[in-house]
Structure 1
Amino acid sequence: MRRRLINSTLAVVLVVIAVFGVSLVIVETRTISNSAQESIDSEALRLISVVESRLLEDERISSALLSQQITSKRYALIKIPGRPPLEVGKRPTGSVISSTAEGEHGEQVTVEESRSAVTREVGRTLMIIGAVALLAIVSAVLLAVRQANKLTSPLTDLAETAERLGSGDPRPRHKRYGVPELDRVADVLDASAERIARMLTAERRLAADASHQLRTPLTALSMRIEEISVTDDPDTVKEEANIALTQVERLTDVVERLLTNARDPRTGSAVVFDLDEVVKQQVEEWRPAYRSAGRAIVRSGKQGLRAVGTPGAVAQVLAALIENSLMHGGGTVALRTRVTGNQVVIEVTDEGPGVPSDLGARIFERTISGRNSTGIGLAVARDLAEADGGRLELLQQQPAVFALFLSRVALKRKEPERPVR
């Protein structure tokens, strides 16, 4: 493309120079020739008038006297009836420009000049025109190269950006080139890069959330299957099998919720549910794990509470908090329910060292962890709480007290206003 731009620009300039240059040469050549001829004619007329005036006054006419009346490097032949012809200057050879003037009494003056003077003048003019044309060509080439660089370099950059997007690097370049059309393409590529980056981030986040949210039900299911495998009591087997089925249903609910959030994160399924059942389920589910760690998990607070939310999501939030206390806390873990205003609060606390002071304000950020863990459990838990209109907060750092706030009253949908008749 660079070569084509330079060649096309140069071709246009050459055509313009050829058309206007040839015309200018023709016009200038004719102008110089006509000017030389007019000068010769004027010289002949002036010389014949001098001759006539001296004849009328009966004055002497000589070559020396007439040489003062003629331009140097020109030749004049004066013929007067009854007198020998007079010559002024040296007669030129070769091609000449001549002019003859006659007087009223038969006098005749012929003035000649070598055409080489005209040729030299035409040559100087052609050299000037050629120099201007050469300067125009050089300027055109430089301008064409500059324009080609201005167009081809951005296109190369845009091609590299598109290739980078195709290879999985969605970083926008935010580079503009001062050409509206190319800047528009750059805007579109940057916007596409930002969309691709958001999509990749969402996919990675979904994968991380899925792995974290599925781990807890799978762990609980694994513990129930282990209980079944080590017992011979049919009643225990039946009880553990029912609990395992409950875990399978919870696992299915987690998968459906992940798929729903992947399609539309704003979609919610909040309902009014019995909070005691969810808290009791979590306590019973995690009691074996705490017993194995030599610790205890208890519940307290107000009973018979109902809250608005998704039971599966609330269970996942509580599971994340309980698991966090199991991994990072110490002593007895307590789940306490209470009421504040029109909200239900579930507090999860333990007797461990609590949250480090430098992590208190960032504990809910992704990849933030006090130990070698994924650092996404609390971030996922907060997202789940906020999806149904609740919120998850750290009320106290030492010992750690996490609180899940849920509404006690379901929000009514706003009905459209009816027109007044």
Structure 2
Amino acid sequence: MRRRLINSTLAVVLVVIAVFGVSLVIVETRTIQSGAQESVASEAVRLVGIVESRLGSGEKLTPGILSEQITAKRYAEIEVPGRPRIQVGSRPAGDVIESTQHGDRGERVTVQEPRSTVSAEIGRTLLVILAVAILAILAAVVLAVRQARRLTAPLTDLAETAERLGSGDPRPRHRRYGVQELDRVADVLDASAERIARMLTAERRLAADASHQLRTPLTALSMRLEEITVTDDPDTVKEEATIALGQVERLTDVVQRLLTNSRDPRSGSAVAFDLDEVVKQQVEEWRPAYRSAGRAIVRSGKKGLRAVGTPGAVAQVLATLIENSLMHGDGTVALRTRVTGNQAVVEVTDAGRGVPPDLGSRVFERTVSGRNSTGLGLAVARDLAEADGGRLELLQQHPPVFALFLAREAEPSSGE
């Protein structure tokens, strides 16, 4: 493309030079020739006047006196009736420019100039025109190269940007080139890069969230299946199988919620539900794991609370907090329900070391962890809580107290 831009620019310049240059040469040649002819004629008229003046005053007419009156390299011949012919200068050989004038006393003056003098002047003019044309061509080459670079360099840069997008690097470059059309293409590529970056981030986040959120219910399900494999009591097998089926349903709910949030994170499925039932279910589900670890999990607080949210999401949040206490905490884990204003609160605490002082509220940030874990659990749990209008907070670092705040179901007004 660069070569085509340079060639096209040079072609335009050469056409312009050819058209105007030839016209200028013709005009200048004719002007010089006509100017030389007029100059010779003017000099002949002037010599006729001088001759008449000297004849009228009786002065002498000699070649030495008249040679001072004509231009160098010109030849003059003066004929006066009854007198010898007077010649001034050397008669030019070859083609000449000539002018003959007659006076009132019958004298005749002829002035000649070699045409080679005019040709030399025409040649000098042509050299000047040629030099100007060459300078114009050189200037056109420089401008064409600069313009080609100005246009092709951004195109090369945009091609590299597109190649980077195709290779999986969606970072926008935010480069502009001062050319409206190229800047428009750059805007489109940057916008596409940002969209691709958001899509990749959403996909990676979905994969990370899915691996983390599915781990907890799968762990609980595997514990129930282990209980089934080690018992021969049909009633125990039936009970554990029923609980396992419930866990499968919750696992299905988690998967469905992950897919829904990946399409639209703002979408929610909040309903009024029995908070006691969700808390009870989580305590019973995790009790075998705590019993195996030689620890206990208990519940306390206000009963009969109904909250607004997604039961599966609330269960997942509580499961994350309970699992964190199992992995990183110590002693008995306590779940306490209470009411504050128009909100229902579930607090989860244990007797462990708690959250390190340097983390504080950063414990909810992704990839932030004080126990060499992934750092996704609490971040995902907070996202789940906020999706239905709730919130998850760290009320106390040592001993750790995490609180899930949920909106309470509006109580129906009593009729009179």
TM-score of Structure 1 vs Structure 2, range by shorter chain: over 0.9
**Residue of structure 1 in register with 2:179 after alignment:** 179
- Structure 1 distance, partners of 2:30, 2:253, is 99
Aligned residues of 1:272 and 1:410 also touching (Cα < 8 A): no
**Structure 1 residue 95 displacement after superposition:** 1.4
Indicate whether 1:327 and 2:338 are aligned: no
- Larger mean CA deviation between 142-151 and 116-125 belongs to 116-125
Once the two structures are TM-superposed, the CA of residue 63 in structure 1 deviates from its matched residue by 1.6
Corresponding position of 2:293: 293
**Residue aligning to 1:384:** 384
Output one character per residue of 1:321-353: Cα deviation in whole Å (capped at 9) or x when no partner: 000101110000000001111111100000000
RMSD: 1.3
Tell me what 2:98 maps to.
98
Moved >4 Å (runs of 4+): none
Which one is further off, 35-44 or 77-86?
Answer: 77-86
Q: Do the aligned partners of 1:271 and 1:410 also contact (CA within 8 Å) in 2?
A: no
Cα drift, residue 56 of structure 1: 2.8
Give per-residue Cα distances to partners, 1:169-198, cap 9 Å, x unaligned: 101111111111111111111111011001
The answer (yes or no) to whether the contact 1:392–1:405 under 8 Å persists in 2 is yes
Cα 1:301–1:282 change in 2 (3 A) is same
**Structure 1 residue 72, shift from structure 2 partner:** 2.0
2-side partners of 1:66 and 1:228: how far apart? 142
Residues 120-269 of structure 1: matches in 2 within 5 Å?
Answer: 120-269=120-269
Question: How far, CA to CA, are the matches of 1:62 and 1:263 in structure 2?
Answer: 115
Question: Match for 1:237: what amino acid?
Answer: V
The two structures have a TM-score, normalised by structure 1, of 0.96
The 3-state SS of whatever aligns with 1:197 is helix
CA contact (8 A) 1:308 1:406 kept: yes
Counterpart Cα distance in 1 of 2:45 and 2:150: 64
Counterpart of 1:207, as a letter, is: A
SS in 2 for 1:186: helix
Deviation at 1:67, TM superposition (A): 1.6
SS at match of 2:403: strand
Tell me what 1:57 maps to: 57
1:224-278 CA distances to partner (integer Å, 9 max, x unpaired)?
1111111010100000010010011101111111111122211111111111110
**Alpha-carbon distance between aligned partners in 2 of 1:59 and 1:365, rounded to the nearest angstrom:** 120
Structure 1, unaligned stretches of length 5 or more?
413-421
The 1:241–1:395 alpha-carbon spacing in structure 2 relative to 1, beyond 3 Å, is same
TM-score normalised by length of structure 2: 0.97
Is the contact between residue 390 and residue 407 of structure 1 (CA under 8 Å) also seen in structure 2? yes
Take 2:277 and 2:58, find their aligned partners in 1: how far apart are those partners? Answer: 150
Provide the C-alpha distance between the structure 2 equivalents of 1:366 and 1:148, rounded to a whole number of angstroms: 48
In structure 1, give the amino acid aligned to 2:372.
N
Query: Is the CA contact (8 Å cut-off) linking 1:302 and 1:338 kept in structure 2?
Result: yes
Cα displacement string for residues 280-316 of structure 1 (whole angstroms, at most 9, x for unaligned residues): 0000000000011111100011111111111111000
Query: Which stretch shows the higher mean deviation, 112-121 or 320-329?
Result: 112-121
CA–CA distance in structure 1, aligned partners of residues 104 and 373 of structure 2: 126
Provide, for residues 127-161 of structure 1, a one-character-per-residue CA deviation record: whole Å limited to 9, x for no partner.
11111111111010000000000000000000010
Aligned to 2:310: 310
Residue 390 of structure 1 contacts residue 406 of structure 1 at CA under 8 Å; is this kept in 2? yes
1:92–1:410 CA distance, 2 compared to 1 (3 A): farther
Structure 2 partner of 1:415: none
Task: Measure, in 1, the Cα distance between the counterparts of 2:261 and 2:411.
Answer: 21
State the shift of 1:215 in Å: 0.9
Q: CA offset at residue 411 of structure 1?
A: 11
Task: Give the 3-state SS of the residue equivalent to 2:21 in structure 1.
Answer: helix
- Kindly provide the amino acid, as one letter, of the partner of residue 360 in structure 1: G
> Which residue does the alignment assign to 1:117?
117
For residues 409 and 169 of structure 2, what CA distance do their matches in structure 1 show? 47
1:410/1:132 CA distance change after superposition, 3 Å: farther
The aligned residue for residue 271 of structure 1 is: 271
What's the CA shift string for 1:336-386, capped at 9, x where partnerless? 001111111100000000000011121000111111211100001000000
Question: 1:297 corresponds to which letter in structure 2?
Answer: I
User: Matched residues, percent identical?
Assistant: 81
How far, CA to CA, are the matches of 2:345 and 2:215 in structure 1? Answer: 26
Partner of 1:352: 352
- What's the counterpart of residue 417 of structure 1? none
Amino acid at match of 1:291: R
Show the counterpart of 1:337.
337
> Any unmatched runs of 5+ in structure 2?
none
Distance 1:342 1:207, change over 3 A: same
C-alpha distance in 2, partners of 1:144/1:69? 55
Rounded to whole Å, the distance in 1 between the matches of 2:65 and 2:338 is 137
Q: Which shifted more, 44-53 or 378-387?
A: 44-53
Deviation at 1:90, TM superposition (A): 0.8
Q: Aligned partner of 1:315: which letter? A: A
